[in-house]
C-alpha cells in the first residue's frame, strides 16, 4: 500500500464524481458512495500504517555534516532488504546536495544548543517515494509523486478515520437537507484535497491539495447559500486563506529556484539543511510560507475566518477543524521543516516568528473563547488556540510534539464538534445560554463523550491531550524557549477554564430551552463513542510506557538531518502542568458551577469594561478587515480606479476624438467653406453646415479620427527618421 | 490529396471565406441552410485543425516552421505569401477554429437583434479567416493584412448587432486598434528598410535586425508595442475593451475575448521579441510593470462594476496582465505560461461571456443588483458559472492556474539583463492580484448565483440550459478541466517553439 498510496486520494476523487453525477438517482442520495469510499480508504490507510510500522528501520541518515545517506525504495516493506540509494533522481540529488556541502554545514551549532553530547544516530524507516513525469515546462521536467513516511501515514490514518466518522454522522445529521447529495460530493472532494496534500512529494502538488480544500471549504461553509451571512462566511474563508496564499505562491517560487529548480520537497529540505540555499532565499521562503500558514491554519492575525466558518453544517466544522483544512498549514510546516528550521534558525532558541505567531494565537484565541455564547464558536476559538499550540511547538523545535498534538487534537476536537452537533440536533440551536443547560440528563451518551473530549482538550491526565501538550511544554522548556513554555501553561490554564464554562452552560444547571431534548440516534452516537475511545487513549502512543512509539514511527529524514532532539517524559514538568489545569478546573467550577462569577464587574470597573468590549469585538480585527480594508478596496479604491479609467484614461481617448472632430469642423468651416468655398456659396453655407454636422455624427468621425491617427503615425515616422540616421 | 500538407494551412485560412461567400448566395429566408453552411464550414475548418494536430511533428526543433508554403505574392514590395506554424501558433490556431464552431452552434437560437443570420454568420466566418490567417502568416505584410481583416467584421458585429451604445463602442474599437496598426505598419516598414532585409519574411527580418542601431531598435519596438499592446489590451491602452465587450453581442464578446486579444500577445511572441530581442530586454521592465499594474488595476475596475458583462470584460485586463508578465520575463517558463494563459483565458473568459449572454437572454438584464439566486432559478447554469469562476480565479486543477502560477514563478527569475529585483517585486504584486481576482469573481458569483432571486424574477419561469448551450459549453468545460489536470497537453506543444524564441534573447 505504501508504494501505491496515491490510490487513497484517487478513491475519494472518483467518489466525488460518482456522487456528483449519479448521487441523486441513488436510494440514499449518494451518501452510500461517500461512506463506502471512506471505509475503503480507511482500510487502505490502516494497511499502510501496518506496513509502515512493519517496515524495518534500516536506513541511517546522518545529521547534517555526516556522510552517509541511503534512500531505500523497498518494494516489499516486509522483506527488509536495503537497496542502497535506489531512489528517484530527485531523491539522490537531494541527498547528494545535503552531503556535498557537508563541511560547510552548520550542524555543529545544532549540537551546541541541543544535546551537547551529539546525536546517537538511530536508523529510521526509509520514506517511500514514487513519481512520474507530470509535464514539461520549458527545459524543466516537473514530476508528480508520493512521499510516504511516518508523518504521511499518520495523517492518512487520521484524515480517513475522522472523515469516515463525519460521513457516518452526516448521513443522519444532514437527512432531509436540500442539497444532501451535493453535500456528500463536496465532503468527498474535501477529503481528497487533504489526502493529496498529505501524500504529495512536491510543493506544487501540495498547492493543489491546499487550494482544493479552499474550494471545498467555500462550497461547504456556504452550503446554505440562500442566506447572505452564510455566503459571506464562505467568501471570508476563501478570501482570507487566499490572502495567505500570496505567501504560498511566493514561497513555492522562491524555494523552487533556491533549491535548484525543483518542487521536490525532499530536495528542498535537504538543500535548506545542507546549506545549499542562499540565506536570503531561505529566509524569504520561510517567511512567505509562514504567511500561508497564518492564513490557512487560522493563526493570529488572519484567524478571523474560522469562527465565521461555523455557518457551515456541523459535520463540516468537525472535518475542517480536526483533520483537514486548518491543519494543512501545520502539516506544511512539518513537511517543509528543513526550510523553517534553517530559515528561522530554530535551533538558536529564544524566539522566532513561528513561535511568536503560535504563542500569540494560543493566548489571544483562548481569551475570545470565554466570551462566546455559541457552543460552536467556543470550539472554534479553541481550535485556533490549539493550532497556535501546534505552530508554536514547531517554532520551538518540538517537531514530534507538534505532530503528536495534531494527531490527538484531531480526535477530541472532532468529538467535541460532533458532540455539539448532537446537542444541536436535540435543541435545534447552538446558543448555550438560551437553549441549553441540564442536557446531561437528556443526552447521556453525548454528555459522557463530550466530557471525555473536554478533559482531553483541557489536558487532564491520562487523556490524550495531556500527553501531547506535555511534550510541547517540555520541548519549549528544553530547547531554549522558556518563555513559550509559560505561554503554553497560560494557554492550558485558559483552555481548562473555558471548557469548564462551556460544559457547564451546555450540560449542567437547568434546561433553558423550550423543546424536548432527546438523545441522538446511533449514526450520531457511534462516531462519538469511537472518537471518545481515541480521545482517551491516543495520547498513550507516545507515552514513556509505550516507549515513545509515536515519535519513533514518525521520525523522518528531515528531522534526523536537522538533528531534532527528543526529551523524555519528566514527572516534574507533568506535575506542574497538571496542577495548572486542576487549578483552572477548580476555578472554573467555583465561577460557573457554584455561580460565584462576580456580576457587574464590567459595570464597576472601567478596565474590565474596556477589556470585555475588546474581546466582544474580537480585537476589532473584523472591523479592520471587513470595513476598512475590504470596504475601502471594494469601495473607494475601486471606485477611484474606475473613475480614473473613465475620466482620465478614457477622457484622453474621447478628448482626442472630440478634438479631431472640432479640428475637422474648423477646417471644414473656416478653410474649406469659409475661404475656399465661402465666397462663392455664401448663401448655401447654413444648410451645408447643418448637413455636415449630421454627417459628422454618422460617419465623419471615422475619417477624422483616421486622419488624426495617421497624422500621429507620421509624426512617429519623423521622429524615427531624425533619430535613426 | 497527396499534397494536402502543402495546402492545409491555406485551406484553414480561406475555407471560412469560401463559406462566407457561399452564404451570400443562399436566399435570405432560408435560415436553416445558412446555419448549416456556417456550421459545416467551421467544422470542416476544424477538421483541418485536427489534421494539423495529428500531423504536426511535436518533437521537431522549435526553429523550423511546419506546413510551410512560400510563394511569390507582391514582388514590388518584396512581400511573399509565406505561411507556416510552430508550437506557439498551433494551439492558438486550433483554439480559433474550435471557438468558431462553438460560436456558430451557440448562435443556433441566439441571434441577436436585428437578427439577419446570413450576415451575422458571414461575419463570423470572415473573422475566422482573419484570425486563422494572422496565426499562420510568416510575412509581416501578410500578417498585417490579416490583422486588419479582423477589424472590419468585428466593427460591424458590434456596430450592428450590439447593445444600446454600439455606435460609440464600435467606432472606438475600430479607431483605437487602427491607431495601433498604423504605428505597427510603420515599424514593419522601418524594420525592413533600416535593416535592409531581403523581404518581409519574419525569418529574414530577424536576421537583418541586428544591423539597426540600438536606439532605433528601441523606437521600432515601441511602435510594435503600441500596435500589440492596444490589442492585448495592456493598461493604459485598454479603455476600448470594456465598451466593445459590453456592447458586442454574445458571440462577438466570445470571439473578442477568446481570440482577438490573443493577436496582440501573439504578436509580441511571434514578431516583436524574435526580431528585436535586444530591444525586448530593454523594454521588458516597462512591459512587466504595465502588466502588473494591469493585474491590480483590472481587478479594481472589476470591483467597481455593476454590470456582469462589463465586469468580465475588465477581468480580461487583469488576466492578460498575467500573460504579459510571463512574456516580459523573456524566459521559457514565462512564455510557456503566457501561451497557456492565452489558451486558458480564451476558454474560460469565452465561457464566461457565453454565460453572460445566456443570463441576459433570460433575465433581460446584467445589472448585478437585479440578479441573484441563479442557482435556484437555473441550477445547472449556476453551477457552471461557479466552475468558470473557480477556473478564472486560477484554481489549481483547472486551466486558469497554468497561465497564472508559472507566470508568477517565472517572474522570480527573469532573463539575463532584466532586473531581478524589479521582477521579484512584480511577482509579489501579481500574487496580490490573485487575491483580488478571487475577490471580484466570488463577489460576482455571490451576487448572481447565491441568495434568493430578486422580487421581479421570483415568479418568472427561467429555463435552464438548452441544447445549443450544452453543445457549445460542454466541450469548453471539459477542456478547462483536462488542461488543468494534465497541462502537458499544451506545454508539450509549445515548449520547443518557446525555447527557440527564448534563445533569440539569449536565455
The nearest alpha carbon in chain B to A236 belongs to: B439
- Write out the three cell numbers for A92: 539522490
- Residue B321: the pLDDT is 93
DSSP letters along A522-575, please? HHHHHHHHHHHHHHHHGGGGGSGGGTTHHHHHH--HHHHHHT-------HHHHH
Which of B176, B183, B397 is the closest to A208 by Cβ? B397
- Residue A75: the pLDDT is 37
Plot region of A435 (φ>0 → left; ψ -120 to 50 → alpha; else → beta): alpha
CB contact under 8 A, B303 and A243: no
* A679 Cβ neighbours under 8 A, 6+ residues apart: none
pLDDT band at A85 (very low <50, low <70, confident <90, very high): very low
Q: Quick one: A672 exposed, middle or buried, by C-beta within 10 A (0-12, 13-18, 19+)?
A: middle
pLDDT band at A349 (very low <50, low <70, confident <90, very high): confident
A-chain residues near B238 (CB < 8 A): 649
pLDDT band at A76 (very low <50, low <70, confident <90, very high): very low
- Residue A682: the pLDDT is 53
CB contact under 8 A, A250 and B428: yes
Q: Which of A84-98, A699-713, B108-122 has the lowest mean pLDDT?
A: A84-98
B-chain residues near A207 (CB < 8 A): 396, 405
- Residue A111: the pLDDT is 38
Interface test with B, best of A713, A717, A723 (most B CBs within 10 A): A713
How many whole angstroms separate alpha carbon A181 and alpha carbon A187? 10
B-chain residues near A723 (CB < 8 A): 215-216, 219
- Residue A701: the pLDDT is 54
B-chain residues near A257 (CB < 8 A): 412-413
The string of pLDDT tens digits covering residues B231-271 is 888 888 888 888 888 889 999 999 999 999 999 999 999 99
CB contact under 8 A, B297 and A641: yes
> Nearest-5° angle of CA A283, CA A288, CA A291?
130
At residue A265, the 3 state secondary structure works out as helix
Which of A225, A242, A716 is the closest to B223 by Cβ? A716
CB contact under 8 A, B395 and A211: yes
Judge whether residue A594 has pLDDT over 80: no
Measured CA to CA in angstroms, residue A424 lies from A315, A367, A428, A520, B398 at distances of 12, 24, 5, 10, 38
- Residue A107: the pLDDT is 39
B-chain residues near A706 (CB < 8 A): 175, 178
The string of pLDDT tens digits covering residues B277-326 is 888 999 999 999 999 999 988 888 888 888 888 899 889 999 999 999 99
The nearest alpha carbon in chain A to B332 belongs to: A138
Is B223 an interface residue toward A (CB < 8 Å)? yes
A-chain residues near B301 (CB < 8 A): 638, 641-642, 645
How many whole angstroms separate alpha carbon A264 and alpha carbon B256? 40
CB contact under 8 A, B176 and A653: yes
Q: For chains A and B, what is the number of CB pairs under 8 angstroms? A: 180
B-chain residues near A252 (CB < 8 A): 409
The nearest alpha carbon in chain B to A631 belongs to: B303
B-chain residues near A246 (CB < 8 A): 428, 431-432, 434-435
- Residue B210: the pLDDT is 84
Which of A601-605, A702-706, B4-8 holds the top average pLDDT?
B4-8
* Mean pLDDT of all residues in A28-32: 83
- Residue B5: the pLDDT is 82
pLDDT band at A157 (very low <50, low <70, confident <90, very high): very high
pLDDT band at A98 (very low <50, low <70, confident <90, very high): very low
* Mean pLDDT of all residues in B39-48: 93
- Write out the three cell numbers for A548: 515513545
Judge whether residue A95 has pLDDT over 50: no
Least Cα distance to A553 among A1, A48, A53, A15 occurs for A53
The total number of residues shown for chain B amounts to 507
- Residue B352: the pLDDT is 93
* Mean pLDDT of all residues in A278-300: 90
How many whole angstroms separate alpha carbon A478 and alpha carbon B456? 67
Which of B182, B240, B451 is the closest to A710 by Cβ? B182
Main-chain dihedrals φ then ψ at residue B111, nearest 5 degrees: -75, 125
DSSP letters along B162-179, please? S-TTHHHHHHHHHHHHHH
Measured CA to CA in angstroms, residue B157 lies from A567, B95, B164, B244 at distances of 75, 20, 13, 10
Interface test with B, best of A249, A292, A696, A700 (most B CBs within 10 A): A249
- Residue A704: the pLDDT is 57
Interface test with B, best of A645, A648, A714 (most B CBs within 10 A): A645
Residue A128 DSSP symbol = E
Which of A638, A649, A705 is the closest to B175 by Cβ? A705
B-chain residues near A649 (CB < 8 A): 236, 238-239
- Residue A42: the pLDDT is 92
* A266 Cβ neighbours under 8 A, 6+ residues apart: A90, A91, A94, A127, A129, A147, A201, A557, A558
Judge whether residue A611 has pLDDT over 80: no
Predicted TM-score of the model (pTM):
0.85
- Residue A195: the pLDDT is 92
Residue A46 DSSP symbol = H
Judge whether residue A684 has pLDDT over 90: no
Which of B176, B413, B487 is the closest to A257 by Cβ? B413
How many whole angstroms separate alpha carbon A505 and alpha carbon A524? 22
Mean pLDDT, chain B, integer: 88
The string of pLDDT tens digits covering residues B54-82 is 988 888 887 888 888 888 888 888 888 99
DSSP letters along A296-361, please? HTT-TTSTTHHHHGGGS-HHHHHHHHHTSTHHHHHHHHHHTHHHHHHHTTGGG-S--HHHHHHHHH
B-chain residues near A135 (CB < 8 A): 486-488, 491-492
- Residue A602: the pLDDT is 64
* Mean pLDDT of all residues in A679-695: 51
* Mean pLDDT of all residues in B201-218: 86
CB contact under 8 A, A720 and B239: no
Judge whether residue B102 has pLDDT over 60: yes
Is B174 an interface residue toward A (CB < 8 Å)? yes
Residue A466 DSSP symbol = H
- Residue B101: the pLDDT is 93
CA count, 13 A, side-chain hemisphere, A284: 20
- Residue B104: the pLDDT is 92
pLDDT band at A674 (very low <50, low <70, confident <90, very high): low
The string of pLDDT tens digits covering residues A317-345 is 888 888 888 889 999 999 999 899 888 88
Amino acid at each position: 500500500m505504501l508504494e501505491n498510496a496515491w490510490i487513497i486520494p484517487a478513491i475519494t476523487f472518483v467518489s466525488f464524481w460518482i456522487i456528483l453525477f449519479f448521487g441523486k438517482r441513488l436510494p440514499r442520495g449518494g451518501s452510500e458512495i461517500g461512506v463506502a469510499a471512506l471505509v475503503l480508504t480507511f482500510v487502505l490507510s490502516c494497511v499502510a500504517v501496518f506496513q509502515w510500522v512493519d517496515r524495518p528501520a534500516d536506513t541511517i541518515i546522518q545529521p547534517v555534516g555526516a556522510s552517509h545517506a541511503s534512500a531505500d525504495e523497498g518494494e516489499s516493506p516486509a522483506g527488509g532488504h536495503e537497496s542502497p540509494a535506489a531512489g528517484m533522481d530527485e531523491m539522490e540529488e537531494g541527498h547528494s546536495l545535503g552531503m556535498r556541502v557537508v563541511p560547510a554545514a552548520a550542524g555543529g551549532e545544532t549540537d551546541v544548543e541541543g544535546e551537547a553530547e551529539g546525536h546517537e544516530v538511530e536508523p529510521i524507516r526509509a520514506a517511500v517515494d514514487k513519481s512520474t513525469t507530470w509535464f514539461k515546462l520549458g527545459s524543466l521536467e516537473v514530476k508528480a509523486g508520493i512521499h510516504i513516511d511516518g508523518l504521511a501515514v499518520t495523517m492518512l490514518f487520521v484524515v480517513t478515520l475522522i472523515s469516515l466518522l463525519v460521513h457516518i454522522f452526516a448521513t443522519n445529521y444532514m437527512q432531509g437537507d436540500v442539497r444532501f447529495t451535493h453535500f456528500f460530493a463536496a465532503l468527498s472532494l474535501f477529503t481528497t484535497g487533504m489526502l493529496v496534500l498529505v501524500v504529495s512529494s512536491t510543493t506544487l502538488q501540495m498547492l493543489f491539495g491546499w487550494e482544493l480544500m479552499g474550494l471545498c471549504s467555500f462550497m461547504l461553509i456556504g452550503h446554505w447559500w440562500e442566506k447572505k451571512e452564510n455566503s459571506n462566511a464562505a467568501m471570508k474563508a476563501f478570501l482570507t486563506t487566499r490572502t495567505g496564499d500570496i505567501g504560498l505562491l511566493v514561497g513555492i517560487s522562491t524555494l523552487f529556484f533556491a533549491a535548484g529548480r525543483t518542487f521536490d520537497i525532499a530536495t528542498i529540505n535537504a538543500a535548506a539543511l545542507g546549506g545549499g540555499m542562499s540565506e536570503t532565499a531561505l529566509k524569504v521562503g520561510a517567511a512567505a510560507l509562514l504567511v500561508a500558514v497564518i492564513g490557512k491554519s487560522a493563526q493570529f492575525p488572519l484567524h478571523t475566518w474560522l469562527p465565521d466558518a461555523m455557518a457551515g453544517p456541523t459535520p463540516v466544522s468537525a472535518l475542517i477543524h480536526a483533520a483537514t483544512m486548518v491543519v494543512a498549514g501545520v502539516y506544511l510546516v512539518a513537511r517543509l521543516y528543513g526550510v523553517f528550521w534553517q530559515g528561522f534558525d530554530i535551533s538558536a532558541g529564544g524566539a522566532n516568528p513561528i513561535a511568536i505567531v503560535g504563542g500569540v494565537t494560543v493566548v489571544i484565541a483562548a481569551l475570545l473563547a470565554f466570551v462566546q455564547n455559541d457552543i460552536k464558536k467556543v470550539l472554534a476559538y479553541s481550535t485556533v488556540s490549539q493550532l497556535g499550540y501546534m505552530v508554536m511547538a514547531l517554532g520551538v523545535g518540538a517537531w514530534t510534539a507538534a505532530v503528536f498534538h495534531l494527531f490527538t487534537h484531531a480526535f477530541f476536537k472532532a468529538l467535541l464538534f460532533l458532540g455539539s452537533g448532537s446537542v444541536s440536533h436535540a435543541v435545534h440551536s447552538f446558543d448555550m445560554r438560551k437553549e441549553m443547560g441540564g442536557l446531561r440528563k437528556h443526552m447521556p451518551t453525548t454528555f459522557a463523550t463530550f466530557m471525555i473530549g473536554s478533559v482531553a482538550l483541557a489536558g487532564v491526565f491520562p487523556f490524550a491531550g495531556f500527553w501531547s501538550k506535555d511534550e510541547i511544554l517540555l520541548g519549549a522548556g528544553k530547547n531554549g524557549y522558556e518563555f513559550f513554555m509559560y505561554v503554553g501553561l497560560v494557554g492550558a490554564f485558559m483552555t481548562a477554564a473555558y471548557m469548564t464554562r462551556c460544559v457547564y452552560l451546555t450540560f449542567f444547571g437547568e434546561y433553558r430551552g423550550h423543546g424536548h431534548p432527546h438523545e441522538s440516534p446511533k449514526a450520531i452516537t457511534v462516531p462519538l463513542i469511537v472518537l471518545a475511545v481515541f480521545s482517551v487513549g491516543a495520547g498513550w502512543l507516545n507515552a514513556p510506557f509505550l516507549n515513545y512509539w509515536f515519535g519513533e514511527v514518525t521520525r523522518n529524514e528531515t528531522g534526523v538531518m536537522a538533528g531534532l532532539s527528543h526529551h523524555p517524559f519528566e514527572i516534574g514538568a507533568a506535575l506542574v502542568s497538571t496542577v495548572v489545569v486542576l487549578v483552572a478546573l477548580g476555578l472554573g467550577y467555583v465561577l460557573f458551577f457554584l455561580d460565584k462569577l462576580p456580576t457587574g464587574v464590567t459595570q464597576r470597573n472601567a478596565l474590565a469594561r474596556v477589556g470585555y468590549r475588546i474581546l466582544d469585538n474580537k480585537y476589532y480585527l473584523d472591523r479592520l478587515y471587513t470595513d476598512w480594508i475590504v470596504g475601502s478596496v471594494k469601495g473607494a479604491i475601486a471606485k477611484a480606479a474606475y473613475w480614473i479609467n473613465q475620466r482620465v484614461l478614457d477622457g484622453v481617448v474621447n478628448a482626442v476624438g472630440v478634438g479631431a472632430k472640432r479640428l475637422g469642423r474648423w477646417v471644414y468651416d473656416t478653410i474649406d467653406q469659409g475661404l475656399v468655398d465661402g465666397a462663392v456659396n455664401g448663401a448655401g453655407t447654413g444648410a451645408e453646415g447643418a448637413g455636415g454636422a449630421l454627417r459628422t455624427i454618422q460617419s465623419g468621425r471615422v475619417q477624422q479620427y483616421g486622419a488624426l491617427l495617421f497624422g500621429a503615425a507620421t509624426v512617429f515616422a519623423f521622429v524615427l527618421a531624425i533619430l535613426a540616421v | 490529396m497527396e499534397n494536402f500538407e502543402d495546402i492545409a494551412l491555406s485551406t484553414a485560412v480561406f475555407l471560412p471565406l469560401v463559406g462566407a461567400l457561399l452564404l451570400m448566395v443562399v436566399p435570405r429566408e432560408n435560415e436553416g441552410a445558412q446555419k448549416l453552411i456556417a456550421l459545416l464550414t467551421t467544422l470542416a475548418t476544424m477538421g483541418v485543425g485536427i489534421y494539423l494536430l495529428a500531423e504536426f511533428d511535436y518533437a521537431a526543433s522549435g526553429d523550423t516552421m511546419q506546413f510551410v508554403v512560400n510563394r511569390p505574392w507582391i514582388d514590388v514590395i518584396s512581400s511573399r505569401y509565406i505561411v507556416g506554424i510552430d508550437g506557439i501558433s498551433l494551439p492558438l490556431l486550433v483554439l480559433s477554429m474550435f471557438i468558431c464552431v462553438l460560436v456558430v452552434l451557440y448562435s443556433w437560437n441566439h441571434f441577436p437583434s436585428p437578427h439577419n443570420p446570413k450576415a451575422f454568420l458571414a461575419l463570423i466566418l470572415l473573422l475566422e479567416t482573419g484570425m486563422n490567417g494572422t496565426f499562420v502568416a510568416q510575412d509581416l505584410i501578410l500578417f498585417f493584412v490579416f490583422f486588419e481583416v479582423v477589424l472590419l467584421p468585428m466593427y460591424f458585429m458590434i456596430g450592428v448587432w450590439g447593445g444600446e451604445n454600439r455606435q460609440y463602442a464600435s467606432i472606438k474599437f475600430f479607431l483605437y486598434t487602427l491607431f495601433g496598426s498604423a504605428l505597427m505598419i510603420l515599424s514593419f516598414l522601418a524594420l525592413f528598410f533600416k535593416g535592409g532585409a531581403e523581404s518581409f519574411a519574419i525569418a529574414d527580418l530577424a536576421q537583418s535586425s541586428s544591423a539597426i542601431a540600438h536606439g532605433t531598435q528601441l523606437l521600432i519596438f515601441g511602435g510594435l508595442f503600441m500596435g500589440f499592446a492596444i490589442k492585448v489590451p495592456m493598461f493604459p491602452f485598454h479603455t476600448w475593451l470594456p465598451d466593445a465587450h459590453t456592447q458586442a453581442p454574445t458571440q462577438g464578446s466570445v470571439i473578442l475575448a477568446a481570440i482577438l486579444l490573443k493577436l496582440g500577445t501573439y504578436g509580441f511572441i511571434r514578431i516583436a521579441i524574435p526580431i528585436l530581442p535586444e530591444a525586448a530586454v530593454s523594454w521588458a521592465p516597462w512591459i512587466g510593470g504595465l502588466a502588473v499594474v494591469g493585474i491590480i488595476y483590472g481587478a479594481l475596475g472589476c470591483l467597481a462594476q455593476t454590470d456582469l458583462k462589463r465586469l468580465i470584460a475588465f477581468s480580461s485586463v487583469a488576466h492578460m496582465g498575467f500573460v504579459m508578465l510571463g512574456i516580459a520575463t523573456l524566459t521559457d517558463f514565462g512564455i510557456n505560461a503566457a501561451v497557456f494563459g492565452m489558451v486558458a483565458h480564451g476558454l474560460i473568459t469565452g465561457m464566461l461571456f457565453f454565460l453572460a449572454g445566456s443570463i441576459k437572454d433570460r433575465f433581460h438584464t446584467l445589472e448585478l443588483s437585479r440578479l441573484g439566486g441563479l442557482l435556484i432559478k437555473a441550477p445547472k447554469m449556476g453551477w457552471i458559472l461557479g466552475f468558470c469562476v473557480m477556473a478564472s480565479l486560477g484554481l489549481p486543477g483547472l486551466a486558469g492556474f497554468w497561465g497564472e502560477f508559472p507566470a508568477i514563478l517565472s517572474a522570480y527569475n527573469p532573463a539575463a539583463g532584466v532586473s531581478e529585483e524589479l521582477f521579484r517585486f512584480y511577482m509579489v504584486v501579481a500574487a496580490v492580484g490573485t487575491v483580488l481576482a478571487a475577490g471580484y469573481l466570488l463577489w460576482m458569483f455571490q451576487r448572481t448565483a447565491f441568495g434568493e432571486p430578486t422580487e421581479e424574477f421570483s415568479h418568472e419561469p427561467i429555463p435552464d440550459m438548452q441544447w445549443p448551450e450544452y453543445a457549445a459549453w460542454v466541450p469548453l468545460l471539459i477542456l478547462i478541466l483536462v488542461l488543468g489536470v494534465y497541462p502537458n497537453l499544451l506545454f508539450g506543444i509549445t515548449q520547443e517553439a518557446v525555447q527557440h524564441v527564448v534563445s533569440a534573447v539569449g536565455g
